[in-house]
Structure 1
């Protein structure tokens, strides 16, 4: 399992799990089944039902090729079209629950999807769809971030959505609009300090490890330089985290 550390625009590191090779292959296969189905149905309707074979029989070779390419255009642009419309997913990716994201924390845009699509010529189709897929597979396996050449160039990767990251996995806290902070000195903490505090706090509270909560509270008081408080350890630490979010979100 490959984990991707993505730094968001709020300077928060979020860990995503990269899509496995099996998930990517399965999504790729589903997409190809859809493409083949389109080709079969489109050509059956156009050339059998409307009898276009007779209509283009007298055309020159290149005109015939141009007509065929027009019908194949949706297949050629399939990935670019759907990743742009479905926010980083093709139909196959959506079924398997994987998605293309930027590794710098920004939302992937049509420019990123275009670069990935263009590089399919290199790492998927240069030596044929079968051998090209092998090249892409090897690249994904050997890459530290599970990227093929197109991903490396576009600065993207494919993640799984089956293990969704929610706010409880970050230093962010949900605050009411009327929230009033109690400890302004929390600005002495860094993002890394707040992350360690929250991770320790969540684990200790869940396991009812009161000894760790006491040590954590004492350490916070020492670093933040709080002289007194009149709440339990759990309430105090929870307030510290909320206060930190209150002040840092307004900087």
Structure 2
């Protein structure tokens, strides 16, 4: 069995409540624009949905934009948590493959709910975290 990365003593795993609040914020960031676009024109919903899907899949790998994001979704930035790789302790900025692997499990109906609830366990890791070999820590 490969040794797991132990975050430096200054890194503390994010608690489940903080992770759920970050996910809620990200959900609002994604779904409010879709709703607004739907009011304006049903044709814009497809565009908004595609942008939202792209954000959902890559949100933890997005580069810094005007002092914002930098490897944190909007929700994670506001809740002061971030995703790091288990083996190196480094963030996943620009690592879109890892970001996508983390999110795929949440997009599978029913399985996504079970996956999200896994942060309540002792490891505080979802399947997506296990597959991508990442952990969520306080920033």
Aligned to 1:203: none
How many residues matched? 125
Tell me the distance in 1 between the aligned counterparts of 2:126 and 2:98: 14
Tell me the distance in 1 between the aligned counterparts of 2:18 and 2:105: 20
Aligned to 2:82: 99
Tell me the distance in 2 between the aligned counterparts of 1:143 and 1:83: 23
> Is 1:114–2:100 an aligned residue pair?
yes
Verify the 8 A CA contact 2:34 2:49 in the aligned structure 1. Answer: yes
**Match of 1:158, SS?**
strand
What RMSD in Å do the two structures reach over aligned CA positions? 2.3
Give me the TM-score of the superposition, normalised by structure 1: 0.45
Aligned ranges 1:19-168 → 2 under 5 Å = 19-47=14-42, 68-85=45-62, 86-107=69-90, 108=92, 109-121=95-107, 125-127=108-110, 132-133=112-113, 135-144=114-123, 146-161=124-139
Deviations 1:146-169 (A, max 9, x none): 1100000000011012xxxxxxxx
Deviation at 1:101, TM superposition (A): 0.5
- Select the structure that is richer in helix: 1
Distance 1:110 1:137, change over 3 A: closer
Give me the TM-score of the superposition, normalised by structure 2: 0.76
Distance 1:88 1:159, change over 3 A: same
Q: Structure 1: give runs of 5+ residues left out of the alignment.
A: 7-13, 53-66, 162-251
**Match of 2:14, SS?**
coil
Tell me the distance in 2 between the aligned counterparts of 1:106 and 1:72: 33
Tell me the distance in 1 between the aligned counterparts of 2:75 and 2:48: 21
Structure showing greater relative contact order (alpha-carbon pairs closer than 8 Å, 6 or more residues apart): 2
Deviation at 1:113, TM superposition (A): 0.7
Deviation at 1:68, TM superposition (A): 4.9
Greater C-alpha Rg = 1
Q: Structure 2: give runs of 5+ residues left out of the alignment.
A: 63-68
Deviations 1:197-217 (A, max 9, x none): xxxxxxxxxxxxxxxxxxxxx
